[in-house]
């Protein structure tokens, strides 16, 4: 039975390809969209290292093969310059400001879903779909769509959808949210999809060799016209100079390796002081914090809370959730107090709030409460 038209993001990987297959099996008229994102010039890569496969993840070749097999239309959309301005440029500038960004959460909302919905409008589709391992469902009690964790806890990706607005969430389908990765591969294999055995990558799609320090340095120099290799002092928490750093963007909160300091005990980056161009390091206990300040709060599955609420807070993608209290303030700001101190609260990262498996909302970390 025909179920209408739907636009599917097709990267050429097994997840998005299986998503397209499943939706066609359900009776949808599937329209694929493949985004070609910005990639750094070849001369930025190490001369001794061949170009890695992950830099070809956005080649339309595999997506085209799947589309032809499924008999669906595929649009290839060049978003390179938009991607550079909206994702790559802010990514580098965040490092220059002493913060540690997460570009994927921004890309899903500002690039992927925005452009998918635009294409859906162009072709007359009512819904869009992605291969994320998360569950979008309608909550009859609230009369609204909500976002849940995917059933595959090792793979689930609701965290990366924490910036989606309520308005966009109601148009999104995520068929893989109720499946495990192993089940998805079996479906792809039984359907004869040519990408069934394709390996996946958790890497950032625009950084060669995943050498982000080298990438940030080159981008800052060639695109922004800035030299970030400005050395400065490394201080202990009492203000003593104990070493030299290579440049603020080369360090992140909680970092232990690569400090270049001889010490009888492990030392971690506790604070990055951009104004003084110093890195402050301390013991493991000194990198712990009781809470955080967040800005640009986005409430996905509930209305902005009028009073303090209890949540499970996840301060980065793979960090175990911890019980916390969240208080909202005017201007989309929040204060989060943890039930137990947490390590390496990192400005620039996204804090995501859950109730059981329901993603309530999120906020970008801007401050740390010791």
352/16 Cα distance (integer angstroms): 24
The pLDDT of residue 66? 97
Residue with the two structure tokens 């390179």 = 80
Q: Please, are residues 364 and 294 in contact by the beta-carbon 8 Å criterion?
A: yes
The pLDDT of residue 202? 63
- Exposure string of 277-313, with b = 16+ CB inside 10 Å and e = fewer, is ebbbbbeeebbbbbbbbbeebbbbbbeebeeebebbb
> Is CATH 2.40.30.10 the right assignment for the domain spanning 287-369?
yes
For residue 147, which of 134, 128, 132 has the smallest C-alpha distance? 134
333/81 Cα distance (integer angstroms): 31
pTM of the full structure: 0.93
364/148 Cα distance (integer angstroms): 20
The pLDDT of residue 46? 62
Please name every residue paired with 123 in a beta bridge, in sequence order, or none if there are none. none
Pair of tokens at residue 267: 């030392």
Q: At what angle do helices 61-70 and 14-25 cross, to 10 degrees?
A: 20
The CATH code that applies to domain 5-210 is 3.40.50.620
Strand pairing of 322-329 and 333-343? Answer: antiparallel
Q: Which residues are catalytic?
A: 107, 205
Pick the CATH number of 229-282 from 2.120.10.70, 1.10.357.10, 2.30.30.280, 3.40.50.880: 2.30.30.280
* CA-to-CA dists, residue 2 to 22, 27, 57, 125, 192, angstroms: 14, 5, 32, 13, 23
What residues does each domain of the chain span? 5-210, 229-282, 287-369
pLDDT in tens, the chain (370 residues): 568 999 999 999 999 999 999 999 999 999 999 999 999 988 786 644 444 444 444 568 999 999 999 999 999 999 999 999 999 999 999 999 999 999 999 999 999 999 999 999 999 999 999 999 999 999 999 999 999 999 999 999 999 999 999 999 999 999 999 999 999 999 999 999 999 998 876 678 899 878 888 999 999 999 999 988 899 999 999 999 999 999 999 999 999 999 999 888 999 999 999 999 999 999 999 999 999 999 999 999 999 999 999 999 999 998 999 999 999 999 999 999 999 999 999 999 999 999 999 999 999 999 999 9
């Amino acid at each position: 039975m025909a179920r209408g038209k739907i636009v599917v993001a097709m990267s050429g990987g097994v997840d998005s390809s299986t998503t397209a297959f499943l939706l066609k099996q359900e009776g949808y008229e599937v329209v694929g969209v493949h985004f070609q994102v910005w990639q750094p010039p070849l001369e930025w890569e190490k001369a001794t290292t061949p170009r890695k496969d992950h830099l070809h993840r956005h080649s339309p070749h595999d997506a085209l093969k799947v589309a032809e097999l499924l008999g669906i239309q595929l649009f290839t959309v060049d978003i390179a310059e938009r991607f550079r301005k909206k994702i790559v440029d802010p990514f580098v500038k965040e490092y220059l400001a002493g913060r540690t960004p997460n570009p994927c959460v921004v890309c899903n909302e500002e690039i992927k879903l925005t452009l998918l919905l635009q294409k859906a409008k162009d072709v007359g589709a009512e819904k869009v779909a992605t291969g994320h391992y998360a569950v979008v469902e309608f909550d009859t009690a609230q009369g609204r769509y909500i976002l849940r964790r995917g059933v595959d806890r090792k793979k689930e990706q609701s965290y990366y959808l924490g910036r989606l607005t309520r308005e966009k969430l109601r148009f999104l389908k995520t068929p893989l949210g109720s499946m495990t990765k192993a089940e998805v591969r079996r479906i792809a294999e039984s359907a004869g999809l040519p990408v069934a055995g394709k390996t996946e990558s958790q890497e950032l799609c625009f950084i060669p060799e995943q050498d982000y320090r080298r990438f940030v340095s080159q981008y800052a120099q060639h695109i922004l016209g800035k030299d970030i290799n400005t050395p400065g002092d490394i201080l202990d928490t009492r203000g003593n100079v104990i070493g030299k750093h290579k440049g603020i963007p080369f360090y992140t909160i909680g970092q232990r390796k690569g400090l270049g300091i001889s010490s009888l005990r492990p030392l971690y980056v506790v604070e990055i002081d951009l104004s003084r161009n110093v890195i402050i390091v301390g013991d493991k206990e000194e990198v712990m914090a009781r809470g955080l300040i967040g800005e640009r709060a986005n409430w996905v599955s509930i209305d902005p809370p009028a009073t303090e609420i209890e949540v499970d807070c996840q301060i980065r993608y793979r960090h175990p959730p911890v019980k916390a209290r969240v208080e909202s303030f005017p201007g989309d700001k929040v204060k989060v107090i943890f039930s137990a101190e947490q390590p390496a609260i990192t400005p620039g990262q996204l804090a995501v709030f859950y109730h059981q498996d329901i993603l309530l909302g999120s906020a970008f970390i801007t401050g740390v409460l010791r």
